[in-house]
Amino acid sequence: MADQDRSQKASPKRRQDARKRGQVVRSRELTGALGLLGVVLFLGWQARLGVEAWQGLLSQTLSRGNAGDLRTVNAVVSLAGGTLLRCVAAPFALVWSIAVLSSVAQGGFVLSADPLLPKLGRLNPITNLRNMFSIAGLSRMLKSLIPVAAIVFVAVAIARRDWTAILASSRAQLHPLLGWISVRLYEVAWKCCLILLAWSVVDYFLQRRQLESSLMMTKQEALQEAKDAEANPVIRGAIRRRRREMRKRWSMKDVERATAVVTNPEHFAVALEYRPPAMPAPVVVAKGIDEVALQIKETARWSSVPIVENPPLAQALYRATEVGEAIPAKLYAAVAEILAFLYRTQATLRSSLEAGRGGGRGTAGGGR
């Protein structure tokens, strides 16, 4: 039972594998609703042009018939084909564009042959009948009845609203009656399209939630995937590179607060920090070889951190300590000698500067 407890979220690898198998969220209802709404709006916008095109076809056909043209049949077929192509090409291109854009927006561009592979289980009539009369099949049927009920409700509401005009339409003239019917049909069409679009959006999020639920992992699967990832040499190398980059970035930042940098002088560089009495022993805040060592020394120069060349001590510190650790006891004496030398040098420099400032003030006073 514990293994069946899928409480872990899907890992990036599991999501990537599912995407390779073609398991992405794509709602056919959403694509169809967008395409239908686009066509309805396009026809409402270009309806006059279509009517004028068919009126022109009828007029030319009647003119050729009255003129007794023997090529009337071929001409009529050619004119009808051209008119049909002009009226149908734009809606078809619009539907195709909406379908492609909608599919890409929902699940991205995915090429997978798995959904095309034949599955014998789908050809089993017993399995299909069981699925049809199962709870899942009944649920799908009930979900499909919801937008149908909403569409029927809208159609009945429009009919009740215009019931008086419908009863009086028998006494209306043909041309106004056709215009009135076309307006009402267009209203029913775009409202029904909005209902289908709203329901398809709900269906898309339901499918997305269902996919997320199917990709959930058990704790055992998550642990096994982590072990497999650690066993992969490519992933191990990527992890090591990432750790080196993070260590290098933090090292360059921490060099600025170092007390001294011990170098080889070129191949090794170790930055030490010692703040008595808070620190019982010097701590390594950064270390590196070759290019990293050059960066450490460059950062130290910009931050006015003293650089001391001591090849044996630099190599020993690099091999014996890690970043964030105190130096070993066997290196206390060597490091203490360097720090004492730096402290004496800094003290002598401060005394010289103070003496220089005092002499300058005395000379200025004697001049007055």
Question: Would you state the pLDDT for residue 44?
Answer: 77
Question: Would you state the pLDDT for residue 49?
Answer: 64
Question: Would you state the pLDDT for residue 121?
Answer: 60
Question: Would you state the pLDDT for residue 64?
Answer: 64
Spatial distance between the Cα atoms of 57 and 49, rounded to a whole number of angstroms:
12
**Tokens for 138?**
């009944």
Question: Would you state the pLDDT for residue 50?
Answer: 63
The sign of the dihedral angle between the CA atoms of 101, 105, 109, 110 is negative
Q: 239, 236, 232, 279: which is closest to 259 by C-alpha?
A: 279
Q: 297, 315, 291, 288: which is closest to 256 by C-alpha?
A: 297
Q: Render pLDDT for 220-244 as a digit per residue (tens, 0 to 9).
A: 777 777 766 655 666 666 766 766 6
Cα-based distances in Å from 272 to 165, 180, 327: 93, 89, 9
State phi, psi for 118 to the nearest 5 degrees.
Answer: -70, 140
Please identify every stretch of the chain with a pLDDT value under 70, giving residue numbers as ranges. 1-4, 47-58, 60-83, 109-139, 227-237, 239-240, 242-251, 356-368
Question: Would you state the pLDDT for residue 69?
Answer: 58
The sign of the dihedral angle between the CA atoms of 201, 204, 208, 213 is positive
Complete domains list, the chain, with CATH? 23-106+131-216 (no CATH), 244-353 (3.40.1690.10)
Cα-based distances in Å from 261 to 72, 288, 290, 351: 100, 11, 15, 24
Question: Would you state the pLDDT for residue 365?
Answer: 47
Spatial distance between the Cα atoms of 225 and 33, rounded to a whole number of angstroms:
40
Question: Would you state the pLDDT for residue 218?
Answer: 78
Q: Render pLDDT for 28-68 as a digit per residue (tens, 0 to 9).
A: 888 888 888 888 888 777 766 666 666 666 676 666 666 66
Cα-based distances in Å from 323 to 186, 270, 287, 315, 356: 74, 9, 7, 14, 41
If one counts every other C-beta atom within 10 angstroms of the C-beta of residue 328, the result is 13
Spatial distance between the Cα atoms of 163 and 167, rounded to a whole number of angstroms:
6
Q: Label residues 182-220 b or e (16+ Cβ within 10 Å = b).
A: eebeeebbebbbebbbebbeebbeebeeebeeebebeee
- pTM flag (> 0.75): no
Q: Render pLDDT for 59-111 as a digit per residue (tens, 0 to 9).
A: 766 666 666 654 556 666 666 666 677 777 777 888 888 888 887 787 776 66
Quick check: 197 and 31 in contact, CB under 8 A? Answer: no
Any long-range contacts for 250-255 (C-beta under 8 Å, 24+ apart)? 250/286, 250/323, 251/285, 251/286, 251/287, 251/288, 251/292, 251/296, 251/323, 252/286, 252/295, 252/296, 252/299, 254/285, 254/286, 254/323, 255/285, 255/286, 255/296, 255/299, 255/300, 255/303, 255/305
